Amino acid sequence: MVKEIPLFPLNLVVFPGEELNLHIFEPRYKQLVNDCLETKTTFGIPSYVLTKIEYGTEVKIREVSRTYDDGRMDIKTEGLRIFRVQDFQNPWNNKLYSGGPVELIPMKDDSDAQLGLKLMELCLELFEWLHMEEEIRIDHPDDIYRVIHKIGLRPEEEYDLIKMTKESERQQYLVGHLERLIPALERAEKAKEKIRLNGHFKHFDPLKF
């Protein structure tokens, strides 16, 4: 499916279902938000993480939290669907902001229950290592996309995820990432302990020959 939408490129990745708060201050994006509010339409956030405009996420405005005297706004948005930009037009339709036709990418929800549980367990283990288990809660495998920016993925790895069209592929990718990351944290912690010990006097029992 192809549709034309306003585009708001950002140097980040937005996932479907993710809530994103934005502070709107540039004139072109104040115009974009006001147009979307007036027409009750969505806009797109192309992920400019690889210095190109290609894949992104369609979002809807859930709430305008605050409007300032100079027209700036704080808004709450929610990610809807992944798209691929067909033609990035800047400016678009005589507006200050960019836009153009995008192809909405159909996603296959073939999530694997066992992979989902393993992913949740690995996330919980990671947050325990980081001493963040009290501030970050995961009660269901679907919660992963609420905390996905906190599990140590590089921006280009997050970008790889939104290009995947199968949920099971995303799950496997994330499990593999965490299975590599957590042992690396364990090794780093042991190395730190050795470094600390090297700065102190040690008592060794004499060797007997």
Residue closest to 119 by CA, chosen among 173, 183, 185, 184: 173
Of 89-103, 123-137, 176-190, the range with the lowest mean pLDDT is: 123-137
Cα separation, 183 vs 170, whole angstroms: 21
Helix or strand run (H / E) with residue 151: none
Domains of the chain with CATH codes: 2-104 (2.30.130.40), 113-197 (no CATH)
pTM of the model: 0.82
Going along 35-133, which residue ranges are E strands?
Answer: 43-46, 55-67, 73-85, 98-104
Q: How confident is the model at residue 153 (pLDDT cuts 50, 70, 90)?
A: very high
> 62 is written with which tokens?
């859930």
Cα separation, 86 vs 102, whole angstroms: 5
Which DSSP symbol is given to 149?
G
pLDDT of amino acid 38: 97
Give the sign of the dihedral formed by CA 26, CA 156, CA 41, CA 37: negative
pLDDT of amino acid 129: 81
